[in-house]
Amino acid sequence: MTNQRNVNEILDKATDLLNPYEFKGNLLSNPEVVFSFKPMSVVQLKKILMHINDERSVEKILDEILQENVKWDLGGDFDPTCLYSEDRFWILYNMRLKSRGETLETTFKCRNPKCGQPTVANIDLTSFKITSGSPKGYDSIQLSDRVVLDMDFVRRKDIIEFAAWSKVREEVSEDDQEVDDQKGKEFFTENVNEIGKGIDYALGLYALMIQKIILKPESPESSNTEPKPNEEITNLTIDDKIKFLERLNEIDYNKVKEWYDNNWFGVSLKKKVMCPICQHEEEEVLNLGNFF
Ligand SMILES: [Zn+2]
């Protein structure tokens, strides 16, 4: 006879047998790192769709799903908040393909002002451009002979921290509330995979990527003088980093931008969509809201 305890055990076993970690992938930032995952369950997909208009809730749900459905092949804790944003999205992208298929039916509004009709587009999700990370790692940016920036890509936990920071700032400075509110919102309503549309978004993103600022000493006056060590500025707040970037001249700011463009990896969610009524073609960017 099976008692309730046995029933639960058998149910768990059956669930595990039906949902093995059957798919594998490699991180975009480092192809040597292999992960295994199971497709999303009906309940998980339902949860996403229920909150689809609230991006912050959706991101939290996605973290939970990643935690439950993914593991590292070499073992060790799988913590989705430690993933680079681009790797995190790459895993979700793979899960989406295996859970809901490779096509996406989505609605766009035709941007031809004379037309403006809603367009239903069937998008082949496997046709997006995928860029792998640089195998040589992410070097630093030499702004001048004496100023070097140590850079890294943004991880999910940086974004969570940024959200907390913008919330605190909202509460602290009542006067600037509207501005800060707007900055925080802009940052979050834009998918991190969507490359900057506005200057504020790009600035916030680059600021999060600065790990430290290194100041090199002046070259010694004579070869007998012992060279001074580098000064390293770590523990910079997001405010400090933004302030620093805002003070750069255009040439130096472009070096930061170039570093980002040259090293970026991830799934580009840009897609050309044609309006079936007026044949107007426009590049659309998918966001999380219409991805699942
Ligand atoms: Zn049209």
Measured distance CA(160)–CA(238) in Å, rounded: 13
Residue 273 CA to ligand 1 centre (angstroms): 10
Per-residue pLDDT at 191: 42
Per DSSP, 121 falls in state E
CA of 274 to the centre of ligand 1 (A): 8
Domains of the chain by residue range: 4-131+267-290, 141-264
Distance 275 CA to ligand 1 centre (A): 5
Pairwise CA distance, residues 72 & 78, whole Å? 6
For the stretch 270-285, what's the b/e string if a residue is b when 16 or more beta carbons lie within 10 angstroms of its beta carbon? ebebebeeeebeeebe
For the chain, helix (H) and strand (E) counts, in that order, are 9, 13
Tell how far the Cα of 250 is from the centroid of ligand 1, in angstroms: 38
Determine the pLDDT at residue 180.
46
Q: How far is the CA of 118 from the centre of ligand 1 (A)?
A: 8
Residue 120, number of CB atoms within 10 A of its CB? 10
Q: b/e string for 139-163 if b means 16 or more Cβ within 10 A? A: ebbebeeeebbbbbbbbbebbeebe
Q: CA-to-CA distance for 196 and 205, rounded, in angstroms?
A: 8
Ligand 1 centroid vs 277 CA: distance in angstroms? 5
| pLDDT at res. 253 | 95
Measured in Å, residue 279 CA sits from the centre of ligand 1 at: 6
What's the CA-to-centroid distance between 209 and ligand 1, angstroms?
39
Give the distance (Å) from ligand 1 centre to CA of residue 129: 25
DSSP category for residue 79: -
Distance 278 CA to ligand 1 centre (A): 4
Cα(276) to centroid(ligand 1), Å: 7
175, amino acid identity: D
Please tell me the predicted confidence (pLDDT) of residue 3: 77
pLDDT in tens, the chain (292 residues): 567 778 889 888 888 888 888 899 999 999 999 999 999 999 999 999 899 888 888 999 999 999 999 999 999 999 999 999 999 999 999 999 999 899 988 888 899 999 999 988 888 999 999 999 876 666 799 999 899 999 999 999 998 888 777 777 666 655 544 444 444 444 444 444 443 344 577 888 899 999 999 999 887 767 777 778 899 999 898 889 999 999 999 999 999 999 999 899 999 988 888 898 999 998 888 876 677 8
Q: How many angstroms separate the CA atoms of 245 and 210, rounded? A: 10
Q: Indicate yes or no: pTM above 0.85.
A: no
Compute, in angstroms, the gap from residue 13 CA to the centroid of ligand 1. 52
How far is ligand 1, taken at its centre, from the CA of residue 110, in Å? 5
